Structure 1
C-alpha cells in the first residue's frame, strides 16, 4: 500500500462521512424535536437530488439555483410527511414504533414512485466545479467534494446558532423537552413539530443535492442513505445532531480503511461490526452524556 492510496482513501472517507453525517444530522434533528425515528430521511435527499437534476438538465438552471430548489423540495417533503403521516398517527395515539413503520412505508413508496416515473437508470448531476479535481499530496479530490465538506461544516454551524440564538430554535427545543409547559407560555407546539420536520427535510435536501454529483441518482438511493445516516446517528448518539456528524465521519473513515486493508466487498460488514462494537462498549453513543444534558 502506498501513502498516496492511503491519503486517497482517507479523503474519500471524509467526503462520505460528511454525507452520512448530514443524513444522520437530519434524523437526529427530527428525533430530538419530535421523538420520531424518521425512516424517510434518505428519501428527502432522493427527492432533492431529482429536483436539482431536473432543474439543471430540463430547465437549464444554474447549479446553485438548482441546489437551492432541491433543498426547498426536501423541506417541503418534510412538511408533507409531518402533515399527512406523523400528525394523524399521533392523534390516534401512535407509539415510536408506529412512527417508524409509517415513515418506513413512506420510504418504500417514494422509492417505488421514483422507479415508476424516473426509471431504473442512474442519472448524473452536474456538481460545483464540474469534473475538476484538486491534488492533495499526490491524491485527487473533486472540487465538488471540497464544496460538500465546506457546506456541511456551514450547515452544522448554522444549526448550532439556530438552536441557541433564535427564538424559533429555542421554542422548538422547549416544545420537545416539555410540550405542556411550552404550551402554557404560548408556544405553538404542533407548529414547532412541523417546523422540525421542515428543518430535517431541508437538511436531508442539502445532503441530497451535495451527494448526487458524486454517486448519481437512482431509485434505491434513499434507503441506502437512510441506513448509513441512521448508523451515523446511533454512533454519535441519537438525538444529538452534532454527534451524528462525528458519527458519520467515523463511519466514513472506517469504510475507507476497510477498503484499503481488507476489501471493498466487506466495507459494509466492517461498518456494521463497528456499530455493534460501539453499541456494546458505549450503549448511549459516543456523545451520550452530552446528549442527555441537552446537546
Structure 2
C-alpha cells in the first residue's frame, strides 16, 4: 500500500465527507428548529439536481441560472412540506412519531415523482471549473472536487454567521429553544419554523448540485444521501448543524479508508459498522454532550 494510495483515499473521503456534511447539516437545521427527524432530506438533493439538469439540458438556460434554480427548488419544496403537511399536523397535536412517518412517506412519494418526471436514467451536471484534474503529491482530484470542498466550507462558515450574527438566525434559534418565550418577544414562531424547512431544503439542494458532477443523479439517490447525512448528523450531534461537518468528514474518511483493505462493495457496511462502534463508545457523538448543543 503506497502513500499516494492512502492520500488518494483521504482526499476522496474529505470530498465525500463534505457532501454528507451538507446533507447532515440540513437534517440538523430542521431538527434544531422543529424537533422533526427529516427522513426525506436526500430528496431535496435529488429535486435540486434534477431541476438544474432539466433547466440546463432542455431549457438551455445558463449554468449559473440553473444552479440558482436548483437551490430555489429545494427551498420551495421545504416551504411546501411545512405549509402543506407539518403545520396542519402541528395544529392537530401530532407527535414525533407522526412527523417521522410523514417524512418517510414523503421520501417515497418524491422518489416516485422523480422517477415519473426524470425516468430511470441517471443525469450528470458539468463540473465547476471544467473537467481538469489536479495532482497532489501523487494523488489526483478533479477541479470540481476542489470547488466542492471550497463551496462546502464557505456554506459552513455562512451558516455559522447566519445563526450568530443575523436577526433571522438568532430568531430561529430563539424559537427553537423556547417557543413560548420567543412568542412573548414578538417572534413569529410558525414563520421561523417555515424558514427552518426552507433553509434545510436549500442545504439539501446544494449538496445535490455539488455531487451531481461526480455521481450521476437518479430517483434512487435520495435514500442513500439521507442515510449518510443522518449518520453524519448523529455523529456530530443532531441538534448541532455544524457538528454534522465533523460527523460527515469522519464518515467519509472511514468509508474511503475501508476500501484500502476490503472490496469496495463492503465499504458502506464497514463504515457504518465502525460508526456503530463509535456511538457505543461515544453515545453523545464525537463532540460530546456540549457539542450536541452547539451550532
TM-score, with length taken from structure 1: 0.97
1:92 Cα offset (Å): 1.4
Judge conservation of contact 2:243–2:294 (CA < 8 Å) in 1.
no
The farther-off stretch of 45-54 and 284-293 is 284-293
Judge conservation of contact 1:63–1:128 (CA < 8 Å) in 2.
no
1:130 Cα offset (Å): 2.6
The verdict on how the C-alpha distance between 1:292 and 1:138 changes in structure 2, with shifts beyond 3 A counting, is closer
| Structure 1 unmatched ranges of 5 or more | none
Tell me, yes or no, if structure 1 residue 60 matches structure 2 residue 80.
no
1:117 and 1:50 map into 2 onto residues whose CA distance is 9
Counterpart for residue 88 of structure 1: 88
Tell me, yes or no, if structure 1 residue 17 matches structure 2 residue 45.
no
Counterpart for residue 258 of structure 1: 258
The verdict on how the C-alpha distance between 1:245 and 1:113 changes in structure 2, with shifts beyond 3 A counting, is same
The verdict on how the C-alpha distance between 1:117 and 1:292 changes in structure 2, with shifts beyond 3 A counting, is closer
2:220 and 2:160 map into 1 onto residues whose CA distance is 31
1:65 Cα offset (Å): 2.2
1:67 Cα offset (Å): 1.3
What is the correspondence of 1:108-147 to structure 2 with a 5 Å cutoff?
A: 108-147=108-147
* Structure 2 counterpart SS, 1:129: coil
1:173 and 1:287 map into 2 onto residues whose CA distance is 20
TM-score, with length taken from structure 2: 0.97
1:127 and 1:36 map into 2 onto residues whose CA distance is 34
| Structure 2 unmatched ranges of 5 or more | none
Structure 1 residue runs of 4 or more that deviate by more than 3 Å after TM superposition? 291-295
Q: Deviations over 1:91-118 (max 9, x none)?
A: 1111111111101100000111111221
1:129 Cα offset (Å): 2.0
2:137 and 2:292 map into 1 onto residues whose CA distance is 41
1:159 Cα offset (Å): 0.5
* Structure 1 counterpart SS, 2:242: helix
Counterpart for residue 195 of structure 1: 195
* Structure 2 counterpart SS, 1:125: coil
1:121 Cα offset (Å): 1.3
2:191 and 2:211 map into 1 onto residues whose CA distance is 30
Counterpart for residue 235 of structure 1: 235
2:98 and 2:284 map into 1 onto residues whose CA distance is 23
Between the two proteins, the alignment pairs up a number of residues equal to 295
1:286 Cα offset (Å): 1.4
Tell me, yes or no, if structure 1 residue 155 matches structure 2 residue 124.
no
1:98 and 1:124 map into 2 onto residues whose CA distance is 35
The verdict on how the C-alpha distance between 1:164 and 1:3 changes in structure 2, with shifts beyond 3 A counting, is same
1:293 Cα offset (Å): 4.2
Judge conservation of contact 1:85–1:103 (CA < 8 Å) in 2.
no
1:101 and 1:197 map into 2 onto residues whose CA distance is 17
Judge conservation of contact 1:30–1:38 (CA < 8 Å) in 2.
yes
Counterpart for residue 186 of structure 1: 186
Judge conservation of contact 1:42–1:226 (CA < 8 Å) in 2.
yes
The verdict on how the C-alpha distance between 1:278 and 1:177 changes in structure 2, with shifts beyond 3 A counting, is same
Q: Deviations over 1:48-81 (max 9, x none)?
A: 0001111211122232221111111110111011
Counterpart for residue 41 of structure 2: 41
Judge conservation of contact 1:238–1:285 (CA < 8 Å) in 2.
no
